Chains A and B, each alone.
Chain A
Amino acid sequence: MNTEKKAGRAARRTFRMNPAMTAGIIIVGILALTAILAPVIAPCDPYQYGVPYEKPSADHLLGTNDVGQDIFSELLYGTRVSLLIGVFTSLVVTVIAASTALVAGYYRGWPDKLITAFTNVMMGLPNLALTTLLVAYLNPGKISIIISIALTAWTGTSRILRSRIIQLCEMPFIKIEKSLGVSDGVIMVKHLIPNLRDVILSRAALSVSNAMLTEASLSFLGFGDYGEKSWGNILHYAFYQKGVIRGFTWWYLPPILCIALSVMGFMLIGYYGAQRKEDGTDA
């Protein structure tokens, strides 16, 4: 009970201190709920064909597309794919970035030189072009999109984590652990990672927004998962079926707004985390 009260107080204090963070959490919360409840709240089956190019009405809140599918239902289902790809890509990015940063920052020497050189090369490559190439090579699909985005998006997080690990390794408590004979693995898992928690979480949130944006770009370019509804896919068809030229704003504007809003939501959380770390206001 006492712990619950404390947690509640801490949450209230966080919200009071940072309205941007609150906004981010609310946006992401709504997105997550929408993704989970999409089959319940969607008024129509998004894959069902009907009368094409209908304007918004009581039956179809955002009208229908070129094959008569309900755009509002497509949008709700699209949340699932965008969020799923965003979150899983972020997980893969975090694992790759944390592993490379730990090896480079903790051991230094040649592993550091090798990883840093590889990171620099990867950072120099144009991300979207490389991701598109990888997706095309691996055949479009959710897993290939996740792998392709993750393989090109880990570098920034890895670089930030590496520099933080180097700082931490200079701290007496890490030196004492080494001096006490604690194994490298235990030092990394028990002492380094918990002290990187805030950086990891803020970078993970930023990775989600980056992945969602890249997924939308890939889908728009026609490299998305054809079997699934996603915001990028809706945009792709709106553009290629001349919805944009004809001025069907109800078709192309909602996915743009959804992408922008969700990217903003995750970025607000990510930047808040980074700012909190810089201010030293974390517990």
Chain B
Amino acid sequence: MLCETRDLTKIYRGNHGVPAVDRACVSVDRAETIGFFGESGSGKSTLGMMIAGLTSPTSGQILFKGERISMRYPKEVRRSIQILFQHPETSFNPQLELIKSLTEPYRVYGLPYEYSEMLEYLSGFGIYEEHLYRRPSQLSGGELQRAALARILLVRPELIILDEPTSMLDVITQVQILNILKRYQRESDAAFIFVSHNSTLCRSFCDRIYSVQKGVFTPMDKEE
């Protein structure tokens, strides 16, 4: 199993002890896509954030490649688990030109950087040189989401949490994003956790689905 959670619970302060995520036991294997399907506020994004190491759990465990990981992820685990958010317009620093945000992974992980190679890589996501020197506010939602995807795939993650990544996009861009993800999964055996409130999309994109209600994660039949 690539990643699993054991009795993972999150209780936010001021929520009168009501868990946002209640003893969640979910697992995802390599090359697998699992879905968290539920209403807004049901806790599906919170679990995604905990697995990504961005929110600390109140109790429970997260295991990655069989080893328990604590809140401060080691660099390699950090690199292996990435997250793509719903709102592309807030996925980049509004003060920086796109190129500065896109080259950050090269610097952080010491990846070999060649401008022309980066341009070629980005063209696979429909991002070209003319986009690179603009600020996020000067780009469309679709362009930004493709750029956000390009940035996280640069570090070759093994697990990607997709937090409603297509809900703010038009149908054409949705298809583009999902196709890029499927292609990456075929190439790298990466696992995806797909968070969505769209049942049709969840059923078509995921291998297994967890239904989420009031923080409780229950495996459900895809045909249900």
Contacts and interface: CB of A to CB of B under 8 A. Distances in A.
Interface of A: 171-173, 175-183, 190-191, 194-195, 197
A98 to B, nearest CB: 16
Contact of B95 (A177, A178, A183, A195): A195
Given A176-B152, A177-B104, A180-B152, 13 more contacts: A173-B92, A176-B83, A178-B54, A180-B78, A180-B82, A180-B104, A181-B108, A181-B109, A183-B108, A190-B93, A190-B96, A191-B93, A194-B93
Interface in B79-114: 79, 81-83, 85-87, 90-96, 101, 104-105, 108-109
Nearest to A174: B93
Contacts of A177: 93, 104
Given A181-B75, A181-B78, A181-B79, A176 B95 contact: no
A179 B81 contact: yes
Interface size, B (range):
20 to 34
Given A175-B83, A175-B85, A179-B82, A195 B94 contact: yes
Contacts of B86: 172
Contacts of B49: 175
3 A-B pairs with least C-beta separation:
A172-B85, A194-B95, A181-B78
A173 B93 contact: yes
B35 interface: no
B190 to A, nearest CB: 15
Interface in B143-159: 148, 151-152, 155
Contacts, number: 63
Interface of B: 49, 52-54, 75, 78-79, 81-83, 85-87, 90-96, 101, 104-105, 108-109, 148, 151-152, 155
A179 B52 contact: yes
Contact of A179 (B78, B93, B109): B78
A195 B93 contact: yes
A173 B104 CA distance: 12
A182 B104 contact: yes
Contacts of A183: 108
Contacts of A173: 90-94, 101
Contacts of B108: 180-183
Contacts of B79: 181
Contacts of B52: 175, 179
Contacts of A194: 93, 95-96
Given A172-B87, A175-B83, A175-B85, A180 B93 contact: no
B85 A176 contact: yes
A194 B96 CA distance: 9
B211 to A, nearest CB: 25
A183 to B, nearest CB: 8
Of B54, B75, B81, most A-chain CB atoms within 10 Å: B54
A252 B126 CA distance: 69
Contacts of A178: 53-54
Contact of A180 (B85, B90, B155): B155
Nearest to B100: A190
A180 B109 CA distance: 9
B88 to A, nearest CB: 9
Nearest to B136: A173
Contacts of A182: 104, 108
A183 B83 CA distance: 17
B105 A180 contact: yes
A268 B104 CA distance: 38
22 contacts: A172-B85, A172-B86, A173-B92, A175-B49, A175-B83, A175-B85, A176-B83, A176-B151, A177-B104, A178-B54, A179-B52, A179-B78, A179-B82, A179-B152, A180-B82, A180-B151, A180-B155, A181-B155, A182-B104, A191-B93, A194-B96, A197-B95
A181 B53 CA distance: 11
Given A179-B81, A180-B152, A181-B79, A172 B93 contact: no
Contacts of B94: 173, 195
B54 A179 contact: yes
Given A191-B93, A194-B95, A175 B105 contact: no
Given A181-B78, A182-B108, A195-B93, A176 B148 contact: yes
A88 B104 CA distance: 35
Nearest to B49: A175
Given A180-B155, A195-B93, A175 B109 contact: no
B119 to A, nearest CB: 20
Contacts of A191: 93, 96
Contact of B83 (A171, A179, A181, A195): A179
